[in-house]
Homo-oligomer: A and B are copies of this chain.
Amino acid sequence: MMFKSVLIAEDQEMTSISVRKTLEDLNVTKAEYTYYCDDALLQIKKNLQGETPFDLLITDLSFEEDHRKQEIAGGVELIEEVKKIAPNIKILVFSTEKKPALIDELFKKYGINGFVRKARHDAKDLKLALDALAKGKTYLSPDLKQSVKQKNTFEFTNYDITIIYLLSQGTLQKNIPSYLQENDIRPYGLSSVEKRLNMMKEVLEFSKNEQLVAYCKDFGII
């Protein structure tokens, strides 16, 4: 019932130790761990044709950079790569991340099986998640369930996100039309851009572009 072979991708040694201990408590005998994303992918590749290929990956999202140059920068990219070579391996994300947009994307686009947030009751939470995943269910930390569901009061289109992203990069509003035209994004008129910005600001009861940028950063939209 419980997992046979688990890989932990987590750069914080202390956290990694705790995860290992949790697995021990749940009688998971074989648990490997890596401190780098590249190593994690390598391990999975190696064990793919072996006797006991990994059936679960527990991974963080943010990995610290250091002297060892890495191909895979973070957890999201790691998940993407793992899905390519081993689509059947279950994935449990264990991270401090709490942006609804990102978590939602992890489930929908990348097909992760569980998300546990590093927070006050994360040890209990992790055990519950492992239990749920072993039973073929998905798991999401209780405190996140609300926020993911309610999401944003406003649905940003790709068009919206492009505009706000450009603003956050320092692009002048009046220069946005030429960018849009070059990338075949319609409508590209300045008035359309202004109209869209006004609409977003009205819905969210904002008055300035700076607020939109702050908002989108907060929710992981850009």
Chain A interface residues (CB < 8 Å from chain B): 11-15, 17-19, 21-22, 35, 64, 66, 118-124, 126, 143, 167-172, 206-211, 213-214, 217-218, 222
Given contacts A217-B217, A218-B217, contact A211 B120 (CB under 8 A): no
Determine chain A's interface SS by DSSP, over half rule: helix
Given contacts A170-B208, A206-B170, contact A15 B18 (CB under 8 A): yes
- B residues less than 8 Å from A21 (CB atoms): 17-18, 21
Contacts A169-B211, A213-B213 known; list 4 others, CB within 8 Å. Answer: A17-B123, A64-B119, A66-B143, A170-B208
Q: Is the beta-carbon distance between B172 and A120 smaller than 8 angstroms?
A: no
Taking CB as reference atom, which chain B residue is nearest A214? B168
Q: Is the beta-carbon distance between A168 and B211 smaller than 8 angstroms?
A: yes
Q: Can you list 13 A-B contacts (CB < 8 A)? A: A13-B123, A13-B124, A14-B18, A14-B19, A14-B126, A15-B15, A15-B118, A167-B208, A167-B210, A170-B208, A170-B210, A210-B210, A210-B213
Q: Is the beta-carbon distance between B124 and A210 smaller than 8 angstroms?
A: no
The list of the 4 closest CB pairs from A to B, nearest first, reads A217-B217, A168-B214, A13-B123, A14-B18
Copies of this chain, whole number: 2
Query: Roughly how many angstroms separate A208 CA and B174 CA in the complex, as a whole number?
Result: 13
- B residues less than 8 Å from A126 (CB atoms): 14
Which of A19, A124, A168, A206 has the most chain B CB within a 10 Å cutoff? A168
Query: Roughly how many angstroms separate A169 CA and B13 CA in the complex, as a whole number?
Result: 38
- B residues less than 8 Å from A123 (CB atoms): 13-14, 17
User: A208 touches which one: B22, B120, B172, B207 (CB < 8 A)?
Assistant: B172
Q: Is the beta-carbon distance between B170 and A12 smaller than 8 angstroms?
A: no
Taking CB as reference atom, which chain B residue is nearest A168? B214
Query: Roughly how many angstroms separate A116 CA and B195 CA in the complex, as a whole number?
Result: 45
User: A12 touches which one: B13, B22, B119, B213 (CB < 8 A)?
Assistant: B119
